[in-house]
Structure 1
Amino acid sequence: MNTERRTLVIAGASLGVGLLVLGLKFLAWWTTGSIALYSDALESIVNVVTAVVALIAVRLAQKPADAALPYGYHKAEYFSAVVVGVMIIVAAIMIAREAWSGFWAPELPDAPLQGIMISAVATVINVVWAGVLIRHGRKVRSPALEADGKHLLTDVISTIGVLIGLALVLLTGWAVLDPILAALVAVNILWSGWAVICESVGGLMDVAVPPLTQKSIREVIAGNAEGAIEAHDIRTRQAGKMTFIDFHLVVPGAMSVDAAHTICDRVEAKLREVVKDVQITIHVEPEDKAKHAGIVVL
């Protein structure tokens, strides 16, 4: 199975996992009537929506470039991650509302042990699947899958806090702890949503590749552009799994087009060995265009 097909399968499987976990968490809430478990179940609705959005975004991002979008559809994943962040914030507001109501009329949950066990099973499933999403998302540089996995981890942390709190409710008999836990879950989710949005906006704003990658790019150009004079105005940007590199390559004025093209081909070939899924644009200039202060001087 190729990488793109595997990515689609994982994105599709996320929807199934999300529905399974959603069913378990609503069963835990129905069994207990706990506001904290209800808030946890509401967050799982966001997980399902997130899985749907991620599946659509991953499929769209795999479309080849065309006349309408000559640079490809890779940024679709960043838009999906922003949608996920917004949905997380909406869930946090819904949970906070339930917590506020429960705070003024606290009630002890029914059958808390059964609810804790059911929710624990759902949490184990989320832990395993979050690991799959984050690992594969980073491997193929998929912002949508990685954002989905990070949100699941946030869900796991929230659920663990809820389960510990319910155990305290059971031991102490303090019913007010239940809505307080729900409020804490809301705050945690709100922070998670904001983090996802901030990270995705960076991608939409054409953020540069990480410093180590930039250093590798400069080294490759410096070590493989023999015959040129200098390279300047090196720029990079990241769009989903694609990396875009462009720079100006200054060559002697008397150099033939064929010789300059050979240098460009050599540099491009080496860059593709270092950076996967890359699109490279090199603007060749005569020596009178040299800045003598370029990023790379050859």
Structure 2
Amino acid sequence: MNDKIKVAHLSIASNAALTLGKLAIGITMNSVSVISEAIHSGLDLIAALIAFFSVRESAKPADERHHYGHGKFENVAGITEAILILGAAVIIIHNAYPKLFGRTEIHSLDMGAAVMGISAVVNFLVSRKLFNVGRRTDSPALEADAWHLLTDVYTSLGVLAGIVAIKITGLTIIDPLIAIGVSLLIFNAAIRLIRNSMQSILDARLPEADERVIKEVLNKYSPEFVEFHKLRTRKAGSQRYVDLHLVVPGHMLINKAHNICDQIEEEISDRLSGIHVLIHAEPCALNCSDCRQTAAGKSNSVSCEILDKNKLLGGKPGNK
């Protein structure tokens, strides 16, 4: 959590400096594309503040009101950030559109090029830091903030290219065209952020790679049980949740079944960070030879056709 707070502070500081710098240069130049970049950075600053407060809130433990913790605060933050940058895109288009039909004087092109170049470099470095920490801690809020800054890198480079083109050609219409292009990139980033955050809000299943890890662990312990079913997964912020039913031989002692569940839970937790596993053990209702051998203390090898079929992970439950 200290790493998440530190990198959130870094994002706030860099965005504040870049917003003020771009706004001052944009007003001096009378450039709508540079001012649009200042607006974009201003929204990134607000997004960085939201990310900071959300990671701090999501770190709080479960309480009487939030039994499953506060992880979804980060998902709400991601949606809020996306809505903010959608608003920025609308403002940029509103300001740029009238300038498509009238020539405007643009000053201090060299100064504008310098601030755009500095902005691209700073945002690239900060976004990489945010991505590294966000992915390591599985933080949707930090990853959303990183995407904002990476988008800012692309748009800053676009504006820089526009300034160079204006200096070479003298065509000032390039300025509003670049601004509108910036807004389209912002729209794309916002829609992606909303889609990713909504999946967690609506309890979408974990990614296929995560579920593959869970099934690999279950397969490793498959000689100890009959089969599993009702595997369900979801995510809240950086926290993952898994629950499933584990069918064990009918005469297996309760403490042995409990130990198997503990081993499975522990290994899944070792391989996937921030995961909460809940396993419901239930007895196999079929009085097959495998269950009788287990009760007699013999080997737990499968010896009937029904169990051979049910040993396939995710197959039909043995007690149905």
| Alignment TM-score, normalising by the size of structure 2 | 0.88
* Distance in 1 separating the partners of 2:115 and 2:38: 12
Counting only pairs closer than 5 Å after superposition, residues 260-279 of structure 1 correspond to structure 2 as 260-279=257-276
Q: Which residue of 2 aligns with 1:47?
A: 44
In angstroms, what is the RMSD of aligned CA positions? 1.8
* Distance in 1 separating the partners of 2:76 and 2:182: 25
Counterpart check, 1:21 vs 2:40: no
Q: Which residue of 1 aligns with 2:173?
A: 176
Q: Which residue of 2 aligns with 1:86?
A: 83
* Distance in 1 separating the partners of 2:313 and 2:120: 53
Is contact 2:112–2:163 with CA below 8 Å preserved after alignment? no
Deviations 1:88-135 (A, max 9, x none): 100000000000122233313111111111221122111110111111
Q: Which residue of 1 aligns with 2:314?
A: 295
Q: Which residue of 2 aligns with 1:102?
A: 99
* Distance in 2 separating the partners of 1:241 and 1:72: 11
Q: Which residue of 2 aligns with 1:200?
A: 197
Q: How many angstroms does 1:275 deviate by?
A: 1.4
Counterpart check, 1:248 vs 2:267: no
* Distance in 2 separating the partners of 1:155 and 1:296: 48
Counterpart residue identity of residue 160, structure 2: L
Deviations 1:233-257 (A, max 9, x none): 1121122221111110111222222
Counterpart check, 1:166 vs 2:163: yes
Is contact 2:232–2:242 with CA below 8 Å preserved after alignment? yes
Q: Secondary structure at the match of 1:175?
A: coil
Counting only pairs closer than 5 Å after superposition, residues 92-241 of structure 1 correspond to structure 2 as 92-241=89-238
Is contact 2:89–2:186 with CA below 8 Å preserved after alignment? yes
Change (3 A) 1:281 1:181: same
Is contact 2:219–2:313 with CA below 8 Å preserved after alignment? no
Range moving further from structure 2, 263-272 or 125-134: 263-272
Q: Which residue of 1 aligns with 2:8?
A: 11
* Distance in 2 separating the partners of 1:80 and 1:111: 38
Is contact 1:28–1:116 with CA below 8 Å preserved after alignment? no
Counterpart residue identity of residue 171, structure 2: W
Deviations 1:211-232 (A, max 9, x none): 2221221121121254321111
Is contact 1:108–1:173 with CA below 8 Å preserved after alignment? no
Range moving further from structure 2, 41-50 or 230-239: 230-239
* Distance in 2 separating the partners of 1:296 and 1:54: 42
Counterpart check, 1:34 vs 2:53: no
Q: How many angstroms does 1:294 deviate by?
A: 5.2
Give 5+ residue unaligned stretches, structure 1.
Answer: none
Counterpart residue identity of residue 71, structure 2: H
Is contact 1:106–1:179 with CA below 8 Å preserved after alignment? no
Q: Secondary structure at the match of 1:245?
A: strand
* Distance in 2 separating the partners of 1:88 and 1:106: 28
Range moving further from structure 2, 16-25 or 254-263: 254-263
* Distance in 1 separating the partners of 2:81 and 2:103: 31
Q: Secondary structure at the match of 1:237?
A: strand
Q: Secondary structure at the match of 1:106?
A: coil
Q: How many angstroms does 1:274 deviate by?
A: 1.4
Q: Which residue of 2 aligns with 1:74?
A: 71
Q: Secondary structure at the match of 1:288?
A: coil
- Report the structure number with the largest CA radius of gyration: 2
* Seq. identity, %: 30
Deviations 1:13-57 (A, max 9, x none): 211111011111112202211111111111011011101110111
* Distance in 2 separating the partners of 1:165 and 1:119: 11
Counterpart residue identity of residue 247, structure 1: L
Deviations 1:150-192 (A, max 9, x none): 1111111011111111111111111211111111111111111
